[in-house]
């Protein structure tokens, strides 16, 4: 039921954004793949970093357009903080075709696993070997060194249409954080453990929660 409500909210966001601006798109980054950290324009929502140069899937993955029809993909800070420390990450191999909104990769923690939906449809051309060897990068630097893969996206127009509208990202993230806080009121204090920034491991502050069910709810997978 919760997932249905989230999807209904997202559809409302899409309709509103369509009325406000049919042609709003993100700007592609300069050709040549500069360091991701250099491209970040800091923007925070309820303490979570949400860079404005990304597009976001409602399941908390992000997409950054690069040269041509290539896009880099990763997990936003909300998703990384929710999962906390990971033991292992499973990514599909280069050459594999992934579909937008379908389960595409897997995260393992304490003997449990959860999956995440892809924000894009296309062919994987590169995966981040460093994050596979060191899964802590996903939490430490989700928009930089913790990226997951690069994908060739033949139909960019349809891909962007199915992501959270840029003008509504703040509202979407506020709604997600609000739902998380509602599970346990004191969680707001845990998330704000470091001057308003999220704690390294939000799940640890929810002892009664199921990691798999919690991540499935927010990752829509």
Q: Residue 17 belongs to a domain with what CATH number?
A: 2.40.50.100
pLDDT of residue 2: 47
Residue 18 lies in a domain: yes
Does 114 fall in a domain? yes
Burial 196-208 (b: 16+ CB within 10 A, else e): eebbebbbebbee
pLDDT at 190: 52
Q: What is the pLDDT of residue 5?
A: 46
Which parts of the chain have pLDDT scores under 70?
1-42, 185-195
Domain assignment of residue 19, yes or no: yes
pLDDT of residue 188: 64
Pairing mode of beta strands 149-152, 70-75: antiparallel
Do the domain assignments include residue 51?
A: yes
Q: Two tokens at 146?
A: 């913790």
Amino acid 181: pLDDT? 81
Residue 12 lies inside a defined structural domain of this protein: yes
How many domains in the chain? 1
Residue 186, in any domain of the structure: no
With 0-12 / 13-18 / 19 or more C-beta atoms within 10 angstroms meaning exposed / middle / buried, residue 26 is: middle
Alpha-carbon distance of 193 to 20, in angstroms, equals 37
Q: Is residue 206 part of a domain?
A: no
What Rg do the C-alpha atoms of the chain give, in angstroms?
Answer: 16
Identify whether 187 is part of a domain: no
User: Can you list the positions of beta strands (E) in 1-77?
Assistant: 44-45, 48-49, 55-56, 61-65, 70-75
Give the domain range for residue 76.
Answer: 2-170
């Amino acid at each position: 039921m919760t997932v249905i409500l989230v999807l209904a909210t997202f559809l409302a966001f899409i309709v509103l954004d369509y009325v406000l601006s049919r042609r709003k798109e993100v700007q592609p980054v300069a050709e040549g793949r500069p360091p991701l950290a250099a491209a970040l324009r800091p923007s925070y929502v309820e303490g979570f970093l949400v860079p404005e140069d990304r597009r976001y899937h409602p399941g908390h993955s992000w997409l950054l357009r690069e040269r041509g029809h290539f896009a880099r993909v990763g997990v936003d800070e909300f998703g990384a903080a929710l999962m906390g420390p990971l033991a292992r990450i499973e990514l599909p191999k280069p050459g594999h075709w992934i579909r937008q909104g379908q389960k595409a990769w897997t995260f393992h923690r304490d003997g449990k696993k959860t999956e995440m939906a892809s924000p894009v449809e296309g062919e994987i051309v590169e995966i981040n070997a460093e994050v596979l060897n060191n899964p802590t990068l996903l939490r430490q630097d989700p928009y930089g060194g913790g990226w997951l893969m690069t994908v060739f996206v033949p139909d960019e127009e349809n891909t962007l249409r199915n992501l959270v509208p840029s003008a509504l990202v703040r509202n979407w993230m506020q709604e997600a954080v609000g739902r998380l806080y509602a599970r346990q009121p004191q969680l707001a204090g845990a998330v704000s453990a470091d001057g308003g920034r999220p704690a390294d491991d939000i799940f640890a502050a929810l002892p009664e929660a199921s990691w798999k069910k919690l991540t499935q709810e927010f990752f829509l997978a």
